[in-house]
Structures are given as C-alpha cells and as structure tokens.
Structure 1
Amino acid sequence: MTKTALVTGATAGIGGAFARRLAVEGYDLVLVARDEARLAAFSAELAERHGVTVVPLAADLSTVEGCERVEARLAVADSPVDMLVNNAGISLNTPFLRSTVEGEEQLLRLNIHAVMRLTLAALPGMVERRRGDIINVSSVAGFGTPMPGSTYSASKAWVTNFSQSIAESVRPTRVRVMALCPGYTRTEFHDRAGINMSKMPEWLWLSAEEVVRDGLRDLRRGKIVSVPDWKYKVAVFGLRHLPQGLVRTVSKDARGRI
C-alpha cells in the first residue's frame, strides 16, 4: 500500500531534501510552501521523475488561514497522511532589543504555533490507525545555554521538548514522533534571514541530504531526538554537560541561528 507524506517548507533546503528522499522511497507527497509557482514546478518535477503522486498545497503557516488549509488535508480520513514533516521555520537577523513585535510573533507562529497545530491535526488519526510518523525539525541551537538575544533558539528548545513529550505519550500506540536537530546546514535559511555566514568554517556545514538520511535512519531506529553527524553529537554533549560559563563564551557569536 502506498504511503503519503506531508512536508512543510518543502521547496528548498531540508524540506526539499525530505521530499526528494521520500519520493525515491515511493511515498506519495503533499508539499506545503508559500511560493505557489515554485511549489507547482517542484511538485511536477518530482512526480515526473519518480512516478509518485505529488500534490502542491500553497499555504503560509504563519497565518491562521494557512494552518487551517493544511489541517483540513491532515484530517481527510479516507486519504490518511502516514508521515508529517514539520520543517517550515524562520530566524531573524535582529537582536531582540531591536526587534519588533510583528517579527517576533511571526517567528513564534511559524516555529511553534504551526508545529503544535499540525501535530495535533495529524496525531489523532495516526493513533487510531496505530501507525504514523511525525518529524519536527528543530536545531542544536535549542540545547543548553540560551543564545544571546535569540528567540530562534528558544523556539527550537520548545520544539525539541514538545516532540519528546508527545513521543512518550504516544509510544504505546506505535506512532513515532521525533525531533530532528541538525547543526549548520547548507540551505537558503540563512540567506533568507539576512544572516552572513561567510566566516563559518567549511567543516561545520552539513548537507540537507545528510540531515535527512540520518533523520530517517534515527526515526526508524526508534529515536526520539536525532542529532545528525558526530561533531554535532559532541557539541550537544558539551552544551548539556560543560560549565555554562564556558558554553556561553564559545557560543556567543553563533546567536543560535543554526
């Protein structure tokens, strides 16, 4: 039986890599993004290349209307979604003291509110069917010491904690929920936020394909939190266990924008 996956933020970066990988695995896809033209072109490309059904669903998940459009698809009982990938998210290139209420609220609506709403829309059907997967894309920025002036890192701490909590609550039903916590990943994410990453050492970067490969592997091994790549596993260990003064000194320039 063909499975269906719904991926948000699906036209680029980690979301695009999820869409490609899942199409290769034979999943039919529902792809969610804001740019309708780009979404339609990417959907057509995947359908032609991999012979799967790909439905584009244009929606801005930082709005109530956008969330409601995707929730309605997740609630269709006779065409269930077997995997939900909550990937859409933003960061801000503005320290909190110079930020705006509008900017911060948009970040929280997309990074937190949409993740909560779509998870809640998908989960009851999955629990009833006793199968289904939810991957919430978080970040290593959500671990350990809060990054100076960054609500992004705070939002990702929420995503990781939320995913762990929900995963434990549904474990007896065989539904899997996981937080995927990558480090610096080559995507459009930083450019869109206006964040200059030119001084970041090349060895720190991951590819979106690596992140997706490791994330799906960890999901299928039953992990609740996935941290791709050994160097970021070491980093997370340090964030959790090293003296917090040292962690703050090392991380002060990263600003949580991973």
Structure 2
Amino acid sequence: MSAVNTASSFIENAPPGELTEVINDIGSLLDDLSISDKLAPAVEKYNKEQFVTTKLPGGSALVIVSEHNDLGGGRFYDSESASSFTYNHKTQKASDVQSYPIEGEHASTVKSLLRDVGNHVKEHFPSLPAYGVYPTDDGIAILIVGNKYSPSNYWNGRWRSTYIFNPSSSTLTGSIAVDVHYYEDGNVRLVTEKAVNESLRSTTSAEVARAIASVEKKYQEELNRAFGALSEGAFKNLRRQLPVTRQKMDWQKASAYKIGQDIGGGGRAR
C-alpha cells in the first residue's frame, strides 16, 4: 500500500472537527508539505460523507455538503435558499452562488419538509446544526447534522442523520450515526450507527418530522442507558476494588493518618 493510500485511510477515519490536525500530522510524519494536494480526493470523500457544513457568502445559516446535493464539478445546491454554490474542499469555503430553484413533482413536499424538519432541528440541536432536503431517484433525502466541538476540553462530537422518505410506500429509511472523540490524558472514541426503517401513518411533512423526532429521541435514550451501564459495569470493574494493602480505606480517618505520620517522623522532609 502506498503512503498516499495509507494516509487516505487516516483521513477517512478522522474524528469530528479534527480533519485539519490529521492532515497536518500526516504531513509531518511523511515530511511532505504538499501532501494535502495528494490527499484531495480523500478529503472530498470525507467531507461529503461527514456532511461538512459551510456558510454561503453573505449568509448566516449553515448549509450541507454531501453526495445527495452534489451537482458535479465541485458544485452543490441548497434547497432552502434555492441556490447552488462552488465548494473548495481545501479551504472549506463556498463561493460563486447562483440561483437554483427546486422543481419537479416533489418541489412542494421539499418546501414543507424544510419547514417541519427545520423546526425539529432548531428545537433539538442547539450547537452548530444544519439540515437539508433533496429530491432523489428513491424519494426525498433528509439530512441532519449536529456538531459540537470543545477542543479546549479535549473532546469533539458529531451527530448525523440520513433519511430517505418515500411518499409512494409511506416509509422512512436510513441511519443515525454518532461519533464522539475524547482525548484528555488518553484517547477514547465512540463510533456507533443505528438503522432506521419506519412505516408512516401518513405522508405529510408533519408526520415525517414527528417520526424523525421519535426515532432520534429513542436512540438518544438508548445511548444514555448504554453509557450508564458502562459506568456502573465495565468501567467500574476496571477500577481497583481495594488498595494494595487489601484493606478498605477509612476516609473519615484520612486526616488522622496524615497527622500520625507526621508526628511519627514518617512525613517527607521539606
């Protein structure tokens, strides 16, 4: 396997919000300052898979870059602003915004979904959220991404939801992916994914948004229960039950132990 192929695999598995650091580290390891140009295909693939977000020139809302809104030639479109744009995967900037109205049989449904799914996202994703609704050959793609970065506290996280709404079969299919990286005094990462396959009671945008909210709430509750079980189970079993003396520590007498040690001359010389 070539160095570029190996480096590309690192790009593919870069934690949320840490792509730039991974690229810089790869350049240092390979002693190749031009490595970013060689990794351009891998970076583009990563950005589209991870639903990287950007702001359009003059805009304030975040828009998504993905396979579902890829027009080819480095251009993507945003349904809500009815515009297309060029995205530079290296600088992570959007430019050359042009009008791109949504047309076709699903145009009105897309607009309704943008409203109702948007309300769900704004209520439940407080940190750097973005969403998009795009007509596809299989129905209508609904993407949601929520990013929360806290590098000063040594952790970053990302939630990605991918749904395909099929009005003909009244179904909602897709997946929810969660990726969290914690790296203070260690390196712990959670990467998990849940498949979604829901039958809808109707094909209204309100029902689709309700189903999405229900699925995501249940999954979040599942994750919370799993974390609780880890804390009280596997993680607890990793900790030493008794000190090396094999006797329990009487914390009520801890200060007395220290005083007795000092009086007896056992304290360390200052």
The normalised TM-score by structure 1 is 0.28
Question: More strand by proportion, 1 or 2?
Answer: 2
Which has the greater radius of gyration? Answer: 2
The normalised TM-score by structure 2 is 0.28
Higher relative contact order (CA 8 A, sep 6+): 1
